[in-house]
Amino acid sequence: MAEITASLVKELRERTGAGMMECKKALVENNGDVQVAAEWLRKQGLAKADKKADRVAAEGRVVSAQTDGKAVLVEINSETDFVAKDSNFLAFTDAVGEAALQAADIETLKNTKLASGETVEEARAAVIAKVGENVQVRRMARIDSANTVSAYVHGGRIGVLVELTGGNPELARGLAMHIAAMNPPYISPAHVPADFVAKEKEIALAQVKDTGKPADILEKMISGKVAKTVNELCLTGQPYVLDTNQSVEQMLKSAGAEVISFVRIAVGEGIEKQTDDFASEVMKQAGLA
């Protein structure tokens, strides 16, 4: 058996990022061979990743990358906000964001190679081994266009892509910031589904039908209520967050610009988070529940 020296452990730690005890165990298992030990740790990482795959990962980070009219967002999840701030997790997410520029969709991204030579999936398994939590590359969005495109991420939690005709990158970024803050579901009233409008008319009618007003007045009241609701939901109808004295629509007209599309991603949306009731758990263990 080769002697497992501190320098060997240090070398393996620097190469793999694994913990000191894991590195020592890997060297013991592989007769002090650093190369084989590194491969063994990677395999162990895959095993750990499999064991943690069912654990809910609803925290994490949204990353972006952009070049030559191409912009991407990627949501990468961890189990806790603590790990979402870990240097290993942050380095991984940054690398995945850059790799996403070369990937058409999330499945392609998972098999894309990073600068390290690892695929995204291999690097994900290695991160799981380091941080001890489930990590998932959940979803991505991309815009690839000859139009003006901007990617914006707010606090690592909300990411937005915006595509404009006319305008300029500064305007596109301002709109992305607005969308991050206000979360409009639609671009303009023309994009609002007809069934939603019909339902709003039904609600408005129920609110005013007993007022005793003439039918033509009622129709105007209903139209006004529906238009107000629709405008509040649409990007173009909202006060522009960077200049609340004008609406987004007014700002776009003055700039000779039009929003073609946008995407907004927030960390953990749509994931059912596990909530632990500590008191109930204690009572259950004590046979009181």
pLDDT at 278 over 80: no
Instruction: State in words which class domain 55-144 has.
Output: alpha beta
pLDDT at 280 over 70: no
pLDDT digits (tens, 9 = 90+) for 106-164: 999 999 999 989 999 999 988 988 888 889 999 999 999 999 999 999 999 999 999 99
User: Residue 47's pLDDT is what?
Assistant: 44
Please state, rounded to an integer, the average pLDDT across all residues of the chain: 86
CA 3 vs CA 13, 70, 122, 230, 286: distances in Å: 17, 52, 30, 73, 49
User: Residue 1's pLDDT is what?
Assistant: 63
Q: Domain ranges in the chain?
A: 6-52, 55-144
Measured in degrees and rounded to the nearest 5, phi and psi for residue 191 equal: -95, -5
Average pLDDT over residues 191-213: 84
Average pLDDT over residues 196-216: 82
Q: Which CATH architecture has domain 6-52?
A: Orthogonal Bundle (1.10)
Average pLDDT over residues 30-51: 71
CA 100 vs CA 92, 112, 115, 123, 276: distances in Å: 12, 8, 12, 14, 35
Structure tokens at 63: 């990353």
State the pTM of this model.
0.74
DSSP 8-state code for residue 235 = G
pLDDT digits (tens, 9 = 90+) for 61-79: 999 999 988 999 999 999 9
Confidence of residue 204 (pLDDT cuts 50, 70, 90): confident
